[in-house]
Amino acid sequence: MLLLFHFAFFLKIYSKNNKKKTLQNIYDFFFKQLELSIREIGYGDTTINKEMKNYINIFHSILEKIESWESVEISKKNSIINSYLNINNKSYILTEYFDNFTKKLTNNSLNSFTKGVIKT
């Protein structure tokens, strides 16, 4: 689930100033890799389709809830994280982590993370 949070923040930050085609390619690649990982575990096609649908729905739900992350109070941020991860006592650590992660993404270009990985 943490991976979905990371990817949601990544797309949220870079969706503003980057080409939609590039972001779509990254989105497609991410979910293809997730699907391949599920396949490696040994699940069948029916289970994989069900799991992928579930992951995509959760991802879009996270993306929607973090849309105004920067202007939301810490307690609300903790609540968002708790609703997905069910870690009531330690969510403040993840809230701080994702605040810092957002700052790092904001201070670096998309190219700095994808250079040498994707061709533009």
Q: Is residue 33 assigned to a domain?
A: yes
Q: Is residue 89 assigned to a domain?
A: yes
- Residue 105, classed as helix, strand or coil, is helix
Q: Is residue 39 assigned to a domain?
A: yes
- pLDDT, one tens digit per residue, over 16-43 is 889 999 999 999 999 999 999 999 999 9
Q: Is residue 85 assigned to a domain?
A: yes
Which residue range is the domain that position 83 belongs to? Answer: 2-110
Distances in whole angstroms, Cα of residue 101 to Cα of each of 10, 21, 72, 108, 119:
9, 24, 16, 11, 24
Query: Percent of the chain having pLDDT more than 90?
Result: 78
The answer to whether 72 and 81 have CB atoms below 8 angstroms apart is no
pLDDT at 107 over 90: yes
- Overall number of domains in the chain: 1
- Phi, psi (deg, nearest 5) at residue 73: -70, 155
**Per this entry, what is the length of the chain?**
120
Q: Is residue 115 assigned to a domain?
A: no
Q: Is residue 17 assigned to a domain?
A: yes
- pLDDT, one tens digit per residue, over 44-69 is 999 999 999 999 999 999 999 999 99
Q: Is residue 21 assigned to a domain?
A: yes
